[in-house]
Copies of this chain bind each other. A is one copy, B any other.
């Protein structure tokens, strides 16, 4: 298990608006998925009801900016919690990003990311799973539960790991690195 705290991905155009022309985010920590890293840079999210500061930028850049928050965060910001698979941003809530050199009002892109499991192509094939499948996953312990509809994401660069957000982690008292059971 990997627990995803709130974070965001930026397009190149939005990076320039927020940090200035030619700015290069600095790596802070490699992520478990190869080629991805958490940057030293953070931004403030500004919604109709509240602010959340210190939201981490993840790299590399993407075609479209995307903000991933928890349902708890949505209530604090004052935006509707919309659960989506990463990248599926049509008709999702907007949010304003505040950076050191400017701010950007996204028309869409603030989502609660659907829980998912990353697999390399080989790992998925071994398990008989394919990209976009959905399976159930059991978490043990006194606060145990079974997550239904867990999205399978397969790519040759991925490494096997399940990602949940902080609400889901706290509901089951899940820690980073905890082992869970796939029902397939």
Contact = CB atoms under 8 A, between A and B. Distances in A.
Interface of A: 70-72, 75, 81, 83, 114-115, 142-149, 166-168, 170-173
B146 A142 contact: no
B145 A72 contact: no
A147 B115 CA distance: 16
The A interface is mostly helix, strand or loop, or mixed, namely mixed
A168 B167 CA distance: 7
Given A71-B173, A83-B173, A146 B148 contact: yes
Contact of A142 (B70, B75, B83, B170): B83
Given A70-B170, A167-B170, A145 B142 contact: no
Nearest to A147: B145
A173 B171 CA distance: 12
A83 B144 CA distance: 12
Contacts of A81: 170, 173
A138 to B, nearest CB: 8
Nearest to A71: B170
Contacts of A168: 171
Nearest to A136: B146
Contacts of A146: 145-146, 148
Contacts of A147: 145
